[in-house]
Structures are given as C-alpha cells and as structure tokens.
Amino acid sequence: MTEPLSWEQITHYAGFDWAKDHHDVVVVNPQGKIVKDLTFEHSAEGWAKWKGLVAAYPRLAVAIETNQGAAIEQLLESGAAVYPVNPKSAERYRDRKAPSGTKTDYLDAWSLADALRVDGHGWRALKPLDRLVQELRILCRDEVELIGKRTEMVNQLQAALHEYYPAALQAFDDWTATPSWSFVQQFPTPQVLREAGRRKWETFLHVHRLYRPELNEKRLEIFARAHEFCGPPVVTRAKSRLALTLIKLLQTLDKQLEEYRQEIRRLFNEHPDHDLFGSLPGAGEKLAPRLLSELGSDRSLFESAQALQCYVGTAPVSFQSGQVRQVYARYMCNKTFRHAVHLWADLSRKFCSWAQIYYRQLRERGKSHASALRCLGQRWLKILWKMWQTKTPYNPDFHMANQLKHGSWVLSVKPNKPL
C-alpha cells in the first residue's frame, strides 16, 4: 500500500455508497461540482473500473459508511484516502441535500462526497491496520460469534432435556462443560440411567472427576428417581435423538473453539504489546487478546483517555436544552470492545481490592450491576490508555502510590472481607 494522502494534497472528493453486489460512486471537485459518477459490481472487473477512476483522479479522498470489510481493503489498496462516516451522520448529510426524505444510492454517494469536501478537514483518515492486529481482531471477533452459537445450542439442549429428562438438568449446572454432555451420551434416557445401576453412576462421576462429597449423594439420589418424572416414550425417543445430535455438534464446535484459542494465543504472544495487555488484572488469556486486537497499535488513534472511553462506550452522553439536563448511556460505540471491557471489569474485582471496593460502593449507592461495571470499566480504560501510551505493563504498587498521591477516596473505604 502507498503512503496515505494528507488533507492538503487532496484535489477531489468521492462519496462511496457500498453494497454486497455493487457500489455507487460520485466524485466532486473543490467547488462542489460533480465531475464523475460510476456504478460498478463488487467483482474483479468492477474494482478494475475503480482503479481506473483513481488513476484519473490520483489525489482522491473517499467517504464511506463503514470502517472494515472487503470494500475498505480495496479502497486502501487503491491509494485513495479513506474517511469512514458514522451511518447516523451520513443520514443527516443526506437530509441536508434532500429534506423531502428522498433516498437513492446516487443521492447517498453525492451527499457523502459533498460532506467530505465541506467538513472532511476535521475528520480522521482511516489507516491500514497492522496485519498481525488485523488477523487477531478477526479471529477474536469470530471466536465470540462461535461462542454465541455454542450458547444457542446449549439452550436448545437444555430445552430438549427439560421435556424428557429433567433429572439431568437437576444433577448438573454447567452445560457448557463436556462432562454434562458425556452424561447424556452414556445415559441418553432416564430408563437407560435406571438400568445402569449405582455402580456405573459412581464410576461415571469418578472418571469425569465430578465426585464431590457434598454433591455425590444428592446426585445419586436424583439418578435413582430420574424415571419417576420424565417425558412419555414418544417424546423421550424423539427428544433424546435431538439431544444426542446437539451434543455431537457441541463437541465439534468445542474442538474448533480450542483451535481458535491456540491460534489467538500464538498471534497474541507474537505482538510487542503482549506483556502490557497480559499484565491487566482479570484479563487472562481470553480477554487480553480481545482488548489488544480492538485497541490496536496506533498510539495516535486516541489523543486522550476520554477519546478511548467514548469509542468503547463507557463514557455517557449528555443532553442539555434550556432547563433540561440529562445523561444517557452511549450506544454508538465499538460494541465488541465494550463487551470485552465489561467482562474484564467484572473479573478484575477478583484480583484488585480497589476495583471491588469501587464496585461495591456504586452498588450501595443504588446503581445496577451493569451500571457499576460500566463505571469501573471507565476507570480501567483511563489506566489502560496511560499504560498503552507509555508502553508500561500494569504495576499494582505504582497504581497504589498514584492513588495515595492523589488522595483517592477508594483507599479510605475498608473492604468488608479480604479478597
């Protein structure tokens, strides 16, 4: 890829209305006059037409309603300066051109082009991602999607068991764990479980390391009464087939998820910021790569901790009009990043006494669990931004000294019990 153009070098401005199968482009000059419009397919031949247009206008900037995907890759490779636009902002620019509510692909492209010409000097051009970060980000996001699929199938499995095998649900709590699946495979129906007998039940619990003195007798009692309350034979035969099918799919998916994690670990270990993100309390081997991949390596991307907090979505949105002043949760943000920070903030309470104290105080003030974690995540992001800028791993002693220096109220509150 060539070096990105600076704003002063740009001579023409394009609006790019993208779709899955075709794209519409309108190019305007510095005076706002349309000098070129083009519609081309999302194919090799279509992108060849785009490269011909860039060759005719070598100092071209492009505004587009996305910041990722195949279209972005092609635009960056063509050498044009790419400026992503928030879809809500793009809608307002279109309304400025057509207050009547008219909407066409051509109008969308034209409004983006003219918006870039007029306001683009204050926008930030998209930079090509570091290849390592790009691959890590894609893998982490796909892993989250696959985990969602697993959760969906686990819910289906539990629904099937509820209809014909409630004893299995009573005996095991974690249905994302393989021992629970193995139980249904070995004893697919209450009748099979009853015929197996106590010795095989105990053997199963020992083999799968499920034997717990406080739970063993309770589970054995549940197994002994499993046939007393279950579905009729017709439902049992049908739903047991579904349960076994779902378990096979879950086992396959679980294996693929492990392969994903191995590759994510490998890429994470290769990144220069591995130690920095690996030092975050509670992040662990799963969340640390997600946080790194979403934040990236470009230190100029967020000029302040507040900019990062707004991007992640922990910073609230304020509304003021006359006497009315309100604060709302921020929804226009990087939702993948926000979810990772939410999980990290929750887990950090187990490793940092100040985080637990801060969270508990917010809960005592009446905030919900989610709201308290958002506030804790807001605080963690300020710390992370400084670590990221200085390339310094987290040091609890240094952080404690900083809190003492600035008189943090968190230190004046004693925990109810040791962590």
Integer Cα distance of 243 and 302 in angstroms: 48
* pLDDT for 2 beyond 70: no
Alpha helices of 35-86 — where are they, by DSSP H? 44-56, 70-77
DSSP 125: P
pLDDT beyond 60 at 416: no
Residues 23, 17 contacting (CB under 8 angstroms):
yes
When pLDDT is averaged across residues 38-52 and rounded to a whole number, the result is 94
What's the rounded Cα separation, in Å, for the pair 417 and 383? 25
Q: Which segments of 304-413 are extended strands (E)?
A: 317-321, 324-328
State residue 118's pLDDT score: 95
418 confidence band (pLDDT: 50, 70, 90): very low
User: DSSP readout, 153-215?
Assistant: HHHHHHHHHHHH-HHHHHH-S-TTSHHHHHHHHHS-SHHHHHHH-HHHHHHHHHHTT---HHH
Q: 25 pairs with which residues across the strands?
A: 16, 38
Question: Is it the case that residue 402 has pLDDT exceeding 90?
Answer: no
CA triple 147-151-153, angle to 5 deg? 115
In the predicted model, what is the mean pLDDT of residues 313-331? 89
Residue 409 has pLDDT above 70, yes or no: no
Rounded mean pLDDT of 185-200? 94
Identify the pLDDT of residue 156. 97
Torsion, Cα of 313, 315, 321, 324 (10° steps): 110
pLDDT at 315: 93
Q: Answer yes or no: is pLDDT of 414 > 60.
A: no
Please state the pTM of the whole predicted model.
Answer: 0.87
pLDDT tens column, 115-139: 999 999 999 999 888 999 999 999 9
**pLDDT tier for residue 196 given thresholds of 50, 70 and 90:** very high
Residue pair 308/330 in contact (Cβ under 8 Å)? The answer is no
What's the confidence (pLDDT) of residue 339?
96
Torsion sign (Cα): 353, 354, 355, 358: positive
Please check whether residue 81 is in contact with residue 5, taking contact to mean a CB–CB distance below 8 angstroms: yes
Domains, the chain, with CATH or none = 7-122 (3.30.420.140), 134-267 (1.10.287), 275-412 (no CATH)
Give pLDDT, residue 231.
85
